Amino acid sequence: MVSWQYRGLERIQVAGAQRDFKSYTLELWRGLKARIPLTAAVEPPPRLTRSKMIGPAMPPADSYTGGDRAVRLANVIISWGYLKYFHPQLRTIEFEWNNALVRALQQAAVDKSGDDFAGTLREMLRQTDDAQATVSFQPKVARGVLPVQAEWIDGRLIQRGGDEIISIDNKPAAILFEECRKRYLSNAASKCVIEGPWSQPATLEIRPAGSQTHRPIQMTYAAGQLKQRLKLEEVSPAVWYVDMTRMTDHDWAEALPKLETARGIVFDLRGSMQFGPEWLGHLSASSLLTKDFQIPIVDGPDLMRFESLPALELPAIKPLLNARKVFLVDSNTVGASERMLHEIATHKLGETVGEPTAGAPGDSVSILLPGNYRISWTGTKPARPIGIIETMTMVVKSVEGVSAGIDEVLSRALALIPKVL
């Protein structure tokens, strides 16, 4: 017999771990019970020939869509079960999570489209209070965004230049934003408002800056917003901006010679990083000991235990970056970025500017569901709680800053770096 074991970020087969058949029995409803096998024979039984199969053949995997009621209901059950048994911190909200299943099934049964159902899944995952619990959905109809850069500030959707977007296709911006806020767990809600079917036209009702009148503007959902800042840029003499959420190992290696001679470095951590903590060794003259994390080990339903991952010792690495260092953070600082920020704050490697972080520093895991939906959640947890990390210098976006196209967090960080005398 063989069994399966869930180990935080993967599932492994435990060959010969169980010599006897084992099962799990649970109460379903009013005396109705289910018995689920936890082990299986090493040698599978012979496959049935088509002549012996009962019922129609299974449809191909890519034929499942969110427009199918059965697919929606199945995806709710699958997602709810995965998080119930594999999320490392969900047990503390078990009763609320059971209620979340009922609400999600009721809504999924009446959803009209794949997009609507993605919103239902997101609303269910919101109940986990996990900043990395997200839903991605790639519909067969491609999505685009309107060619504007806008932020939700003080109850209004303000775009660069100061104009306010009152409505899109006669739907008030406030209602659109509230719908998006329910679907997304981060600052992605502002972008969600201006998303729509690729190449389709949209009518925006605009209130120009300083005006009390509205005017309609025609736009098309297309490739994207305004160009991003370079991920490595000299923003003033010998002062460098580095977007760590987009850097690769190769990019970092190429950047080091430039950063070695810098007098100031601004590291942008407003997002999730894609590579490990070794780069921190360039920021300290002595070795660093990182915080230890735990991964959940699941041998069966309701049998979760935790295994500690050893803390890493990061040696000091040449070249040592002696420049004044400032780190940009906000509620999008999550996962690896938030874990790095904790080490930065613990070892006093620089100053932080922006807004409080997301409060989810663990590694994320994900599963792919029928209909091309993918759900993700935090798969590990710190051995001792970290929580939301506050910043040393608080900066909140303003209408004036968004109107002028100014990154106010970056501007405040640059002000902390002394000017050349």
Paired sense of beta strands 351-354 and 324-329, if any: parallel
**Residue 270: DSSP 8-state:** S
Q: Is residue 384 part of a domain?
A: no
Q: Is residue 382 part of a domain?
A: no
The count of domains in the chain is: 3
Q: Is residue 405 part of a domain?
A: yes
DSSP H stretches of helix in 184-335: 189-193, 249-260
Residues 243, 119 within the same domain: no
Write down which residue in 163, 198, 227 finishes a domain.
227
For residue 322, the enclosing domain spans 232-356+391-415
Q: Write the CA distances from 84 to 103, 111, 307, integer angstroms.
A: 16, 23, 19
**Domain at 403, CATH number:** 3.90.226.10
Give me 87's structure tokens: 């999320």
Quote the pLDDT of residue 324: 95
Quote the pLDDT of residue 153: 86
Q: Write the CA distances from 108 to 25, 45, 83, 134, 138, integer angstroms.
A: 28, 37, 18, 17, 18
Q: Is residue 54 part of a domain?
A: no
Q: Quick check: 95 and 127 in contact, CB under 8 A? A: no
Q: Is residue 365 part of a domain?
A: no
Q: Quick check: 93 and 101 in contact, CB under 8 A? A: no
**Domain at 205, CATH number:** 2.30.42.10
Residues 267, 396 within the same domain: yes
Residues 315, 264 within the same domain: yes
Q: Write the CA distances from 223 to 144, 161, 173, 313, integer angstroms.
A: 6, 21, 21, 43
Q: Quick check: 37 and 30 in contact, CB under 8 A? A: no
Quote the pLDDT of residue 92: 64
Angle CA 103–108–110, to nearest 5: 110
Quote the pLDDT of residue 390: 86
Q: Dihedral angle at the C-alpha atoms of 10, 13, 17, 18, nearest 10 degrees?
A: 110
Residues 196, 247 within the same domain: no
Cα separation of 91 and 94, whole Å?
5
Give me 391's structure tokens: 């910043």
Q: Is residue 364 part of a domain?
A: no
Paired sense of beta strands 381-382 and 293-298, if any: antiparallel
Quote the pLDDT of residue 17: 47
Q: Quick check: 365 and 385 in contact, CB under 8 A? A: no
Residues 119, 249 within the same domain: no
Q: Is residue 124 part of a domain?
A: yes
Residues 72, 11 within the same domain: no
Q: Dihedral angle at the C-alpha atoms of 157, 163, 168, 173, nearest 10 degrees?
A: 20
The DSSP annotation for 58-102 comes to PPPGGG--TTSHHHHHHHHHHHHHHHHHH-TTGGGGHHHHHHHHH
Residues 190, 244 within the same domain: no
Residues 131, 248 within the same domain: no
Cα separation of 348 and 359, whole Å?
19
Q: Is residue 306 part of a domain?
A: yes
Residues 291, 204 within the same domain: no
Cα separation of 125 and 121, whole Å?
6
pLDDT tens digit at each of 421 positions of the chain: 455 666 665 555 555 544 556 777 777 666 777 777 776 665 555 554 444 445 555 566 567 888 899 999 999 999 998 898 888 888 666 668 888 999 999 999 999 988 889 989 988 998 888 888 888 887 666 778 888 888 888 888 998 888 999 999 999 999 988 878 766 655 567 778 888 888 889 999 999 988 888 899 999 988 655 557 889 999 999 999 999 999 999 999 999 999 999 999 999 999 888 888 899 999 999 999 887 788 888 877 777 888 888 788 899 999 999 999 999 999 889 888 998 999 999 999 999 999 999 888 888 888 999 998 999 998 888 877 777 888 889 998 888 888 888 899 999 999 999 865 4
pTM: 0.80
Residues 148, 201 within the same domain: yes
Residues 237, 192 within the same domain: no
Write down which residue in 168, 203, 227 finishes a domain.
227
Write down which residue in 168, 199, 227 finishes a domain.
227
Residues 169, 219 within the same domain: yes
Which residues, other chains included, contact 145 with Cβ-Cβ below 8 Å and sequence gap of 6+? Answer: 191, 194, 195, 196, 221, 222, 223, 224, 225
